[in-house]
Amino acid sequence: MKVQLLNLASQYKKIRKEVLREVQAVCDSQHYVLGKNVAGLETEIAQYCGSKFAVGVASGTDALILALMAAGVGPGDKVITTPFTFFATAGAIARLGAIPVFVDINPQTYNIDPNSLEALLKKGVKGAKAIIPVHLYGQCADMAPIKALGKKYKLLVIEDSAQSIGAEYKGKKAGVLGDMSCFSFYPTKNLGCFGDGGMLTTDNPKLAEKLRMLRVHGSKVRYFHDEVGTNSRLDELQAAILRVKLKYLEAWTEARIKNGKRYDRLFEKAGLSDIVTLPFIQEGNRSVYNQYVVKVKKRDELRAYLASVGVGTEIYYPMPLHLQKCFKYLGYKKGDFPVSEKTAKEALALPIYPELREAEQKYVVSCIAEFFKK
Ligand SMILES: *Cc1c(COP(=O)(O)O)cnc(C)c1O
């Protein structure tokens, strides 16, 4: 048997006709930039998340950069985030000349640890402007204490929701848990387009207006520029595709959750739950399982074995950001964030896409059992 980490073809087969019809309609209209599909998708995403506003942009990375720009973050400012995330979270901070300041993660959820965040803020972070908690793998960070700290220390809270559209924290969706929230429509995300795309949500009308300006070179009236922005727009073609896919998102998410729970049961049944650390979902959270990540000793050997028996896996992420070459100038060293470093050595993502079948999950678990028997 072969089980891919992600099989987008099976999803595409089901929506192909509908998607191609919408793509054709955009081509027939010859309206490619900021038309009715982007506006429509913005309304629909805002509705879905429960936010007042949504602004379509060119990628999740751009969403982060534009959020920071709208927050007034510039050279020398500090922005606090987790070192255990996709590079873009900290890359966006550095791109603006600002300084990423890292805080270690919670060992169970892998999201930024509010206690460590509080300890850092108590010591004082001179020039801090914002916090970017990341909702990793599909589960929201512990936002209540993070927001309280943001308020206390006058820091804007920007959610990195790239992996977590539809995730819930205490009954509220990712997208309304901070001052702004950044989404990605990269193909491997739960709602993916056919290329790059992104979106911001906010309840703040001033920030929404600013984001709309920044994505078109800082202009409200064409050719008159109030500030320096950039060109970062979501394409009509991508928006049209996303509007088709958004209708299925809840069903796909439910299928991911079902697959996640099924893995949990299969690992328990196989007697693997003390060898394989299963994902921990914090009470009050709805994880949307963008990834099903287990923690194991001998991770690299297991991964190689699984590849040899046809099971695709991935390591998100093999090197925490404070140890990346490009961030050497920040002065961090090995041992600074032990939980992130340990997780980077042990985390392994298994196939979890909505169309994954029970027999395939059973195969994945039996292969892992086989590996640990040897
Ligand atoms: C994917 C991702 C991004 C970046 O999104 P792109 O659309 O690829 O630019 C940012 N943060 C996290 C946590 C991500 O997973």
pLDDT tens for residues 2-42?
Answer: 999 999 999 999 999 999 999 999 999 999 999 999 999 99
The confidence score (pLDDT) of residue 374 equals 73
Residues 67 and 170 in one domain: yes
Q: Name the burial class of residue 312, with classes exposed (0-12), middle (13-18) and buried (19+) by CB atoms within 10 angstroms of its CB.
A: middle
Q: For a pLDDT cut of 90, what percent of the chain falls above it?
A: 99
Yes or no: say if 65 and 96 are a contact pair by the CB < 8 Å rule. yes
Element (H, E) at 211: helix 205-214
Q: Is 333 inside any structural domain?
A: yes
Please say if the pLDDT value at position 202 is more than 80: yes
Spacing, Cα 266 to ligand 1 middle (Å)? 30
Element (H, E) at 243: helix 236-269
Q: What is the DSSP letter of 166?
A: T
Query: Which residue among 132, 163, 321 is best mutated to probe the pocket of ligand 1, counting the most ligand atoms within 8 A of its Cβ?
Result: 163
Please say if the pLDDT value at position 277 is more than 90: yes
C-beta atoms surrounding 145 within 10 Å: 14
Which of 246, 276, 296 is the last residue in one of the domains? 246
Residue from 184, 173, 182, 172 nearest 71 by CA: 182
**Ligand 1 pocket residue status of 196, Cβ below 6 Å:** yes
The confidence score (pLDDT) of residue 108 equals 98
Rounded Cα distance, 296 and 278, in Å? 9
* Angle between the N-to-C axes of helices 358-373 and 236-269, in degrees from 0 to 180, rounded to the nearest 10: 50
Residues 161 and 97 in one domain: yes
The confidence score (pLDDT) of residue 144 equals 98
Residues 334 and 352 in one domain: yes
Spacing, Cα 77 to ligand 1 middle (Å)? 22
195 pLDDT tier (thresholds 50, 70, 90): very high
Residues 241 and 290 in one domain: no
pLDDT tens for residues 53-97?
Answer: 999 999 999 999 999 999 999 999 999 999 999 999 999 999 999
pTM of the model: 0.98
Residues 275 and 308 in one domain: yes
Look up residue 343 and give its two tokens.
Answer: 């997780």
Q: Is 213 inside any structural domain?
A: yes
User: What's the rounded mean pLDDT across residues 184-197?
Assistant: 98
**Ligand 1 pocket residue status of 163, Cβ below 6 Å:** yes
Total domains present in the chain: 2
Q: Which atom of ligand 1 is nearest to the CA of 184?
A: 7
The confidence score (pLDDT) of residue 146 equals 98
**Ligand 1 pocket residue status of 86, Cβ below 6 Å:** yes
**Ligand 1 pocket residue status of 201, Cβ below 6 Å:** no
**Ligand 1 pocket residue status of 165, Cβ below 6 Å:** no
Which of 201, 224, 246 is the last residue in one of the domains? 246
The confidence score (pLDDT) of residue 218 equals 94
Look up residue 335 and give its two tokens.
Answer: 């041992």
Spacing, Cα 63 to ligand 1 middle (Å)? 9
The confidence score (pLDDT) of residue 173 equals 98
135 pLDDT tier (thresholds 50, 70, 90): very high
Structural domain of residue 344, as residue ranges? 249-373
Residue from 143, 146, 84 nearest 120 by CA: 146
Residues 122 and 166 in one domain: yes
Residues 33 and 127 in one domain: yes
Please say if the pLDDT value at position 273 is more than 90: no
| CATH code, 211 | 3.40.640.10
Rounded Cα distance, 131 and 135, in Å? 13
User: What's the rounded mean pLDDT across residues 173-193?
Assistant: 98
C-beta atoms surrounding 87 within 10 Å: 15
